[in-house]
């Protein structure tokens, strides 16, 4: 059977077939023999040669999360949508909320000239103050937030021209 998974921009083609003493996987044509020692929901114990790897995983839609030897990995089943999302990487002039938060104070108004490093707004999350600062000198082009409003992660806070 054939599978496709994506990490960052790279897509991997994986095949898996049964062998008399286990399985044979190929990743973009490169073979890997392995045995399945245990397969519980969310937990795999695989043996590659004489090395055992315990891999924990979870699924979230087309996304797969993995943990192996303390490192975490996220893979995605490639879809048209995920390719489009990748091309929508924000430019440096749009400031996004780093996390879900509440807007405590907006210190500038639309049209105002701002200096690099100037505090534009204060967010609050988990009783912590997050200062949103201007990345460069410029003018506030767009300010779609008001005091007291909740914002989601990656929501646009300020656009500077």
Partner 1 sequence: MFSKVLIANRGEIAVRIIRACRELGITSVAIYSDIDRRALHVRLADQAIHLGPSEPDQSYLSFEKIIQAARTSGSQAIHPGYGFLAENSAFARAVQEAGLVFIGPSPTAIQLMGDKGEARSLMAAAGIPILPGYQGIDDDQTLFHFAKKIGYPLLVKASAGGGGKGLRLVSGSHELYEAIAAARREARHAFDDQRLILERYIPNAHHVEFQVLGDQDGNLLHLYERECSVQRRHQKIIEETPSPLMTGDLRDRMGAAAVSAAKAVGYYNAGTVEFIVDPTTQEFYFLEMNTRLQVEHPVTELVSGLDLVQWQMRIASGEKLPFNQDQIIQRGHALECRLYAEDPAAGFLPMTGDIYRFLEPRGPAVRVDTGVTSGDTISIHYDPLIAKVITHAEERVGAIRKMQAALQEMVVLGVQTNWQFLQDVLAHPDFQAGKVHTTWIEENFEGWQPPDCPLPPEVLVAAALTEFQSVSGSQAPPGITSLDPYNPWRVPNGYRSGEAA
Residues that bind partner 1 (CB under 8 A): 1, 3, 5, 7, 12, 14-16, 18, 20-23, 25, 27, 30, 32, 34-39, 41-42, 44, 46, 48, 53, 55-61, 64-73, 75, 98-101, 104, 124-130, 153
CA 32, CA 25: separation in Å to the nearest integer? 5
Q: Smallest distance from the beta carbon of 106 to partner 1, in angstroms?
A: 14
Q: How far apart are the first and last CA of the chain?
A: 51
| Nearest Cα residue to 114 out of 46, 160, 66, 58 | 160
In the complex with partner 1, the residue whose CB is nearer, 30 or 161, is 30
In the complex with partner 1, the residue whose CB is nearer, 71 or 161, is 71
Contact 14, 4 (CB under 8 A): yes
In the complex with partner 1, the residue whose CB is nearer, 125 or 156, is 125
Q: Smallest distance from the beta carbon of 29 to partner 1, in angstroms?
A: 12
Give 12-26 as a 3 state SS string. EEEEEEEECCEEEEE
What are the beta bridge partners of residue 11?
6
Q: Smallest distance from the beta carbon of 111 to partner 1, in angstroms?
A: 25
Q: Smallest distance from the beta carbon of 133 to partner 1, in angstroms?
A: 12
């Amino acid at each position: 059977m054939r599978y496709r998974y994506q990490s960052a921009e790279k897509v991997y083609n994986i095949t898996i077939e049964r062998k008399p003493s286990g399985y044979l996987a190929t990743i973009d044509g490169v073979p890997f023999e392995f045995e399945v020692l245990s397969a519980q929901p969310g937990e795999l114990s695989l043996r590659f040669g004489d090395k055992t790897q315990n891999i924990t995983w979870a699924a979230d839609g087309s996304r797969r999360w993995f943990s192996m030897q303390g490192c975490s990995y996220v893979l995605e089943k490639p879809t048209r949508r995920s390719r489009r999302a990748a091309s929508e990487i924000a430019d440096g002039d749009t400031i996004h909320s780093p996390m879900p938060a509440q807007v405590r104070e907006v210190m500038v108004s639309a049209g105002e000239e701002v200096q690099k490093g100037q505090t534009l707004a204060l967010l609050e999350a988990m009783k912590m103050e997050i200062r949103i600062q201007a990345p460069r000198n410029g003018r506030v082009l767009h300010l779609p937030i008001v005091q007291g409003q909740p914002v989601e992660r990656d929501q646009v806070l300020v656009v500077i021209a």
